[in-house]
Amino acid sequence: MYSEYSIVIAGVGGQGGLTLSRVIATAATLSGLSIKTGETLGMAQRGGSVQSYLKIGKIIRSPLIKKGCADALIGLEPLEAVRASSYVGPHTKIVLDPNPIPTIFNLVGKEDYPSIEELLRILKEKTNQFYIIQARREAEKLNARQSANMILLGKLISLDAFLPSEKIEEAIRIVLGEKAGKAIAAFRIGMNL
């Protein structure tokens, strides 16, 4: 098993990064492990850059992750994944949904969204354990847009079993309650991608 596992979740406010972080944290506690998460919360508005840090292990000291030292980066959006890429080192696994979300500057025509190829190239240069997952598209097939993140988590767990998948499913049930069904289905799809 892993003595410590650290994850950066990078996305846009409203994409559900916080829920994802709560699911992983809950699964860790269910597995008898300690956790610390670092989040920058506190704005009601969605649509800004959001990064969360999660560390799981026997004893966890700080909520922050050192640059180049994350075990995994879950990228919910490509520009935001690149923004968090200083945490990526050669051993880091990246699971990324490559579908862009434009910024307000892009929307009003003040600035162009960077080229996706260029963003992917930056990530690829940092690690060769880079997995591009069409999570939102897959989730839409399930008619469960909100569950895209669970597909990414499923993929990551299939690469690195840092927590038992039963505990994650149990955590999804605790965190999401009634809405857990589709999220668990999405998680399983991710596991098999």
Contact residues: another protein, CB under 8 A: 12-13, 21-22, 25-26, 29, 34-49, 60-68, 79-80, 82-83, 85-86, 102-111, 113-114, 122, 145
Q: Quick check: 158 and 165 in contact, CB under 8 A?
A: no
Query: CB 192 → another protein: shortest distance, Å?
Result: 28
Parallel, antiparallel or unpaired: strands 49-57 and 34-39: antiparallel
* Residue 46 or 124 with smaller CB distance to another protein: 46
Query: CB 47 → another protein: shortest distance, Å?
Result: 5
* Residue 2 or 105 with smaller CB distance to another protein: 105
Query: CB 108 → another protein: shortest distance, Å?
Result: 4
* Residue 58 or 141 with smaller CB distance to another protein: 58
Query: CB 163 → another protein: shortest distance, Å?
Result: 14
